[in-house]
C-alpha cells in the first residue's frame, strides 16, 4: 500500500497479515492513523508488527481498542511502548471475556516470561487512560510498570468493569498502588456511571 499526500491529516486502514510489510506512507502533516485489523489479523502480536512498519518515527498519542479474550496483554503492550517510547498520551480500551479460560501453556502472550519486572523508557508519557479493567493480575502488573517507568506521569484514569466490586482483591491492589504514587492524579471510575470510586 502506497499513500502519498502533502495535505493528508487523517488515515484509516483496514489491514490483513499480508499487508503488514507493504505500508508506505508519505504524508508530512499526518496527525491520526486508525488501524482496523480484519479477521485475518488474528494474532495479538501482529499489531506490534504493523506499528513497527509504519513510517512514523514518533506518536504523541496512542489509542488502542483491544479484544484480548483470555490472553495476557502486558507483554504486547511493552512491545508497543518500546516501539513508540516518545508518546505523551496512552489510551487503552480492554474487551475481555468475563469468564477467563487460561490460554495454552506456550501461548505467545506470556512471553517474555519476566515481562512484569522489565522496564521501558516512558520519559514523555503524561496521561494514561485504561478502560475495562477487571482487576486481573496482568492488569495490576501493567499498572505497576506504567507507574514505575513513566517518570513525568501526571494523570492516570481507570474505568472498572461493572462486575468488579470494591471488595474484589484486584480492585484493592489497584487502590493500594495508587496510594503509593500520591504525585500522580489517579481516578478509578465505574463503567456504568459517572461516579468516581477512587479517591
Give the pLDDT score at 130: 94
In this structure, the answer to whether residues 97 and 193 fall within a common structural domain is yes
- Tell me which residue of 64, 125, 135, 72 sits closest to 93, measured CA to CA: 64
The boundaries of the domain holding residue 12 are 1-56
- Residue given cell 517518570 in the structure block: 151
Give the span between the Cα atoms of 24 and 39, in whole angstroms: 22
Domain end residue (candidates: 13, 38, 56): 56
In this structure, the answer to whether residues 72 and 102 fall within a common structural domain is yes
In this structure, the answer to whether residues 11 and 98 fall within a common structural domain is no
In this structure, the answer to whether residues 116 and 185 fall within a common structural domain is yes
C-alpha cell at 161: 468493569
Report residue 136 CA to chain centroid gap: 15
Supply φ then ψ for residue 52, to 5 degrees: -65, -30
Give the pLDDT score at 2: 72
CB 146 within 8 A of CB 180: no
Q: What pTM did the predictor assign?
A: 0.77
In this structure, the answer to whether residues 159 and 72 fall within a common structural domain is yes
Give the pLDDT score at 106: 79
Give the pLDDT score at 84: 75
Give the pLDDT score at 51: 66
- Residue given cell 513513566 in the structure block: 150
CB 158 within 8 A of CB 133: yes
Neighbouring C-alpha atoms within 13 Å toward the C-beta of 99: 0
Give the pLDDT score at 141: 92
Helix (H), strand (E), coil (C) string for the chain: CEEECCCCCEEEEEECHHHCCCCEEECCCCCEEEEEECCCCCCCCHHHHHHHHCCCCCCCEEEEEEEEECCCCHHHHHHHHHHCCCCCEEEEEEEECCCCCCCCCCCHHHCCCCHHHCCCCCCCCCEEEEEEECCCHHHHHHHHHHHHHCCCCCEEEEEECCCCCCCCHHHHHHHHHHHCCCCCEEEEEECCCCCEEEC
In this structure, the answer to whether residues 17 and 66 fall within a common structural domain is no
> pLDDT truncated to tens, each residue of the chain (199 aa)?
677 788 888 877 676 555 555 566 777 777 777 766 656 444 445 566 666 666 566 678 888 887 777 778 888 888 888 877 788 999 998 887 766 667 777 777 777 888 899 999 999 999 999 998 888 888 899 999 999 999 999 999 999 887 787 788 888 999 999 899 999 999 988 877 666 777 7
In this structure, the answer to whether residues 148 and 105 fall within a common structural domain is yes
In this structure, the answer to whether residues 69 and 26 fall within a common structural domain is no
In this structure, the answer to whether residues 146 and 158 fall within a common structural domain is yes
In this structure, the answer to whether residues 15 and 72 fall within a common structural domain is no
Give the span between the Cα atoms of 138 and 79, in whole angstroms: 15
In this structure, the answer to whether residues 108 and 166 fall within a common structural domain is yes
Give the pLDDT score at 196: 72
In this structure, the answer to whether residues 36 and 86 fall within a common structural domain is no
Counted domains in the chain: 2
Amino acid at each position: 500500500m502506497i499513500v502519498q499526500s502533502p495535505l493528508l491529516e487523517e488515515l484509516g486502514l483496514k489491514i490483513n497479515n499480508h499487508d503488514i510489510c507493504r505500508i508506505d506512507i508519505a504524508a508530512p502533516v499526518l496527525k491520526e492513523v486508525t488501524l482496523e485489523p480484519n479477521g485475518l489479523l488474528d494474532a495479538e502480536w501482529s499489531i506490534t508488527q504493523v506499528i513497527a512498519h509504519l513510517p512514523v518515527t514518533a506518536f504523541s498519542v496512542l489509542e488502542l481498542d483491544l479484544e484480548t479474550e483470555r490472553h495476557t496483554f502486558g507483554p504486547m503492550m511493552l512491545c508497543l511502548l518500546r516501539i513508540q517510547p516518545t508518546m505523551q498520551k496512552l489510551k487503552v480500551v480492554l474487551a475481555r471475556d468475563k469468564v477467563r479460560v487460561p490460554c495454552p501453556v506456550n501461548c505467545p502472550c506470556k512471553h517474555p516470561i519476566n515481562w512484569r519486572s522489565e522496564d521501558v523508557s516512558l520519559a514523555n508519557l503524561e496521561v494514561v487512560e485504561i478502560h475495562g479493567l477487571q482487576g486481573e493480575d496482568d492488569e495490576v502488573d501493567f499498572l505497576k510498570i506504567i507507574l514505575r517507568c513513566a517518570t513525568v506521569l501526571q494523570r492516570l484514569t481507570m474505568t472498572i468493569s461493572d462486575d468488579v466490586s470494591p471488595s474484589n482483591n484486584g480492585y484493592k491492589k489497584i487502590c493500594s498502588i495508587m496510594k503509593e504514587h500520591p504525585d500522580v492524579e489517579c481516578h478509578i471510575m465505574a463503567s456504568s456511571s459517572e461516579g468516581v470510586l477512587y479517591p
